[in-house]
Structure 1
């Protein structure tokens, strides 16, 4: 049996833990630079605020419904996530942290355990330790545990926040209830195609032939079909090094000059290099993209990207910034108001395995320099030491409605007078 534990409206819940006066009020959390809605409370959903809504387009609706608006506080959310996952780790050794707000557990050897009661105990302890409400779904496979979790979240009173599916009748009923676009792993385009074929529910999907599914949805779709059919196919995944690393950001204001965008791209490439060093990898390719603000329809629009292969594998911030600038020069055009840019590094190799070339090779003197840079930035704060190409200004996100970091900064800890 597998369990999926999912935090309810996680970002919104984190904001409410330390602000009980917000309970019952519609609440949204905005993305970097307060651009788009990335999280909504149930009350905000009822107001008709869609996920991904541009904040400036919904200002009047926010005022009309007294919507509480917060900038994303990832330091707070990450710390609360760690506390939730640490509590859950006491219930099962085999745990896969799937995202910041959900994890899978493989409940092997729990044959004589009342899983319904076990799931409720998880919920109660997580809430007692963190104040976060979670939903628990338990079933014979990972994808069915996802379905069970959805039922637990949809019907919290009937399920007491924990739904267990064991029998074939329970599974069939759930699959007939779940619409195809809500199936874990079925994207929007695949859902449209399946609708056209008369596949409306997850149950309909399991009745398709293996040959058709593999041909049209690849081996990934076939594994999902078998998993939904009750055949354990998707196992817990071990944490692996990333195969590509991205650093992207919307700007606080529109940038029109090359130097402004280049400073940001240099910063993004430096961030990627730091992440590469943390996972002990080199990269051999770098992608740079730029784009204007698509929400400003009155402005002339432009977007472009380019990928270049590096002459050698590296994780040096100096070398990556150099080639990111080369890439940017090839796609940057004057006369546009740029709102977003990003850097993506890929084609990784371990940093202890290096293929030398006859002419161009990385500068090994950078190894000690990068080590010292990482050490100083860890001790004195991010970007304390940085490249000259990143400019003198310390770039920060807009975050005009940022809540305190209640659990990660001493100055923000709540004090109680007794």
Structure 2
């Protein structure tokens, strides 16, 4: 029997915000989406007072003031760095692992050879909190879907101590299936859960005992695999070598609508540099790119427009100069005056591993690299993103996101390092 564990960081974004700010430890905490729009993460205390996921900030102002809720702008530099620390620690304890998301990691526990797996998981949980400051819950199951289900229950059960092991306690599987609403099963989305509930399938137990033919007809092979995983048959192996990306996108909604072409150009230059950096980090090159600009679809009083353009590179590249230059040419081609633009983005397409992209008849077999991009990446990695740039985008422009409650980048900027004071 296989043994999978899912380690999930509890209220991850809120936990990161609390990590260097002890005054938030007992306060409700919410983290907002880009431009400080909607709630995308909540501490347990925020959930308890009824703040819902996705709630617009302007609609919960009264609740925020009444309960002293700490409101934080999203700080992805901080969250990404803390995530990397957590995943590195987990990987050092279980070499066969799959980083599933920024706050979740599957572990293969088959060959650990420990006398008590539940104790090992509790020790890992304590070690993760001690070394990173992030609380986690661990669910163990004979399949990834059951491990995910066990993790969900471990988060909600005080008695479990943050760990539920369905492998060494198979008698817990049936009660766990009965306790899990069908909408909370991994792989069952909102559309499927609504369809299943209309047919009387309201729990994971109901779904696991449904007929294979009916599931295959209504939900295809994907749904059937989910049902089999709930029955204990492994259909999803550990994916420790994820497939390389075929596209990379960098886009943002503007802090306020923009009519000036120069400001839209500034935004696209910033996005082009960031997208190129992502591709270089993955050691890839792009064969084509697309640029888009859009008005605000939620403003019924504004004229609506969505424009895009694309270009193919003669030579696949990850050079920010070539990508930014192409973005400028596309913008000049698609630009229309008289509209209030709200969002823009750069999408790099046809990605391939660096050095494997096909060459044209006139390409050099080993083109010379001037080292500028490597130098920029090294400086930005050492001193913080944006320390050195091409100089094509202005600073403090209206298009930049609203981040009025942004916490310091405690772990990625020297200027934001936390200071210890003698009392």
The normalised TM-score by structure 1 is: 0.87
Match of 1:370 among 332, 350, 373: 373
User: What is the CA distance between 1:216 and its match in structure 2?
Assistant: 4.5
- Counterpart residue number, 1:193: 195
- Counterpart residue number, 1:82: 84
**Residues 1:413 and 2:418 are matched in the alignment:** yes
Cα separation, partners in 2 of 1:280 and 1:3, compared to 1, 3 Å:
same
CA distance in 2, matches of 1:51, 1:113: 41
CA contact (8 A) 2:246 2:352 kept: no
Q: How does 1:72-111 map to 2 (within 5 A)?
A: 72-110=74-112
For structure 2, the residue ranges without an aligned partner over 5 or more in a row are none
Deviating more after overlay: 227-236 vs 277-286: 277-286
User: What is the CA distance between 1:180 and its match in structure 2?
Assistant: 1.7
User: What is the CA distance between 1:39 and its match in structure 2?
Assistant: 1.0
User: What is the CA distance between 1:81 and its match in structure 2?
Assistant: 2.4
CA contact (8 A) 1:224 1:234 kept: no
Cα separation, partners in 2 of 1:318 and 1:85, compared to 1, 3 Å:
closer
CA distance in 2, matches of 1:279, 1:82: 16
CA contact (8 A) 1:27 1:67 kept: yes
Q: SS of the residue aligned with 1:186?
A: coil
User: What is the CA distance between 1:383 and its match in structure 2?
Assistant: 3.8
Deviating more after overlay: 288-297 vs 260-269: 288-297
Cα separation, partners in 2 of 1:14 and 1:372, compared to 1, 3 Å:
closer
- Counterpart residue number, 1:37: 39
For structure 1, the residue ranges without an aligned partner over 5 or more in a row are none
User: What is the CA distance between 1:312 and its match in structure 2?
Assistant: 4.5
Deviations 1:337-385 (A, max 9, x none): 2222112212222221232346899x95776443444445445654454
Q: How does 1:4-403 map to 2 (within 5 A)?
A: 4-110=6-112, 113-155=115-157, 157-166=158-167, 168-214=170-216, 216-240=218-242, 241-306=244-309, 308-329=311-332, 332-357=335-360, 368-378=371-381, 381-387=384-390, 390-393=392-395, 397-403=401-407
Deviating more after overlay: 260-269 vs 76-85: 76-85
CA RMSD of aligned residues (A): 3.0
CA contact (8 A) 1:292 1:339 kept: yes
Deviating more after overlay: 269-278 vs 75-84: 75-84
User: What is the CA distance between 1:295 and its match in structure 2?
Assistant: 4.5
CA contact (8 A) 1:244 1:345 kept: yes
CA distance in 2, matches of 1:184, 1:335: 46
User: What is the CA distance between 1:142 and its match in structure 2?
Assistant: 0.9
User: What is the CA distance between 1:326 and its match in structure 2?
Assistant: 4.2
CA contact (8 A) 1:248 1:340 kept: yes
Cα separation, partners in 2 of 1:215 and 1:261, compared to 1, 3 Å:
farther
CA distance in 1, matches of 2:85, 2:380: 26
Q: SS of the residue aligned with 2:405?
A: coil
Q: SS of the residue aligned with 1:159?
A: coil
